């Protein structure tokens, strides 16, 4: 049976064959560059030849003596700026939540104003609101929230 064109097409798609062909092109371009042969018309071979020429050249500039230190300082500055940006974002997010909750409470108080005033006027509720225990409970809640904010600030440092 004569040559099967489908078999050649399968060979073109074979990864090993493609890899071997590219390897031959690269090595041929490197050898042609080193022997100073004139370039031929294959575009891939010309690209590989440019790469071979670049690899044979000495580096243009050397790194400064404090390159690692400068890079570490630059990265440290980026990290510090990122932390500041994150802190600003969290602060703004807290304010947005506080305003949102406050607005929701204000709207609910306006909508249920009559029901709320009737509930507050009830003798049982009025007795609880006038009690010193409510003031003690609110004071405890305030102390706990102040301590919690202090703990959060301590964890960030």
pTM for the whole thing?
Answer: 0.40
Over residues 93-102, the mean pLDDT reads: 90
Burial annotation 59-84 (CB, 10 A radius, 16+ → b, else e): eeeeeeeeeeeeeeeeeeeeeeeeee
**Rounded Cα gap, residues 43 and 49, in angstroms:** 10
Domain ranges of the chain: 16-56, 114-157
- CA 8 to chain CA centroid, nearest Å: 47
Give the whole-angstrom CA distance, residue 152 versus residue 157: 9
User: What per-residue confidence (pLDDT) applies to 8?
Assistant: 53
Q: Is residue 39 a contact partner of residue 32, using CB atoms and an 8 Å limit?
A: yes
Quickly list DSSP for 53-82. HHHHSPPSSPPPTTHHHHHHHHHHHHHHHH
**Taking 60 as the threshold, does the pLDDT of residue 1 lie above it?**
no
Q: What average pLDDT does the segment 72-81 reach?
A: 96
Share of the chain above pLDDT 90, in %: 18
């Amino acid at each position: 049976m004569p040559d099967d064109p489908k078999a050649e097409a399968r060979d073109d798609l074979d990864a090993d064959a493609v890899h071997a062909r590219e390897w031959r092109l690269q090595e041929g371009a490197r050898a042609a560059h080193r022997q100073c042969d004139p370039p031929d018309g294959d575009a891939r071979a010309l690209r590989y030849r440019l790469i071979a020429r670049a690899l044979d050249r000495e580096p243009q500039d050397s790194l400064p003596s404090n390159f690692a230190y400068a890079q570490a300082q630059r990265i440290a500055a980026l990290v510090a700026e990122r932390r500041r940006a994150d802190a600003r974002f969290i602060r703004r997010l807290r304010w947005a939540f506080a305003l949102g909750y406050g607005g929701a409470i204000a709207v609910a108080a306006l909508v249920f104003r009559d029901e709320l005033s009737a509930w507050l006027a009830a003798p049982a509720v009025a007795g609880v609101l006038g009690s010193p225990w409510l003031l003690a409970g609110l004071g405890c809640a305030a102390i706990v929230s102040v301590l919690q904010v202090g703990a959060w600030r301590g964890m960030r440092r």
